[in-house]
Amino acid sequence: MCLKDEMGWIVYVMAFFSIIYGMTSSDIQKTFAISRPNLNHETYITEIESISCLFQGLRGVWSALLDYFSYKKVYGVLLVMQVILGLTFYFSDQSLYTYALWVWLSSWLESGQYMLVPNILKIIYGKHATVVYGVLFTYTGFSSTVVLILLRTSLATQYLYLWGCTGLLSCISLVMLFTIFN
């Protein structure tokens, strides 16, 4: 069903590009902190990772926002936040607090996508949404593969450039959201 429907593919491509930021953040946040003398404290890094789990647990906020605002507005805000965080990660290592905030927000944004994609599929496909999501969820596997490939390149140690690039990938999803998604 979704393979024949253009809207299914649009959701798939938007989700594919936008989740790469969060996956990359999850993968490199510890090694980035270790590379910065002011952040390289084992207890601090462990606490940041643990509190990130709490922020991931707040993913339901994104779903709740859909009760009050359109999908375009809610997903658009998530994407804009990802772009801003990705392009400003340079400032995150200025203090323990700013780095923690950037990591926690990145975790929250990544987890929010796992709430928004099923919700829009339910709106588009109704009772068939579960089956469609089962097929479309493969975007996470392909996105993970892209992240693994990126981490095997010279970009793997150019953290700020990598965050900026993955943040910009969210721009692709943002443009798609406001031009071809309806």
Rg over CA atoms, the chain: 17
Arithmetic mean of pLDDT over the chain:
89
pTM of the model: 0.90
Per-residue pLDDT tens for 107-122?
999 999 999 998 888 8
What percentage of residues in the chain have a pLDDT greater than 70? 98
Are 164 and 86 within 8 A, CB to CB? Answer: yes
Per-residue pLDDT tens for 54-99?
999 999 999 999 999 999 999 999 999 999 999 998 888 889 999 9
CATH of 6-179, one of 3.30.110.30, 3.30.70.100, 3.30.479.20, 1.20.1250.20: 1.20.1250.20
Report which of 99, 20, 19, 105 is spatially closest to residue 56, judged by C-alpha positions: 105
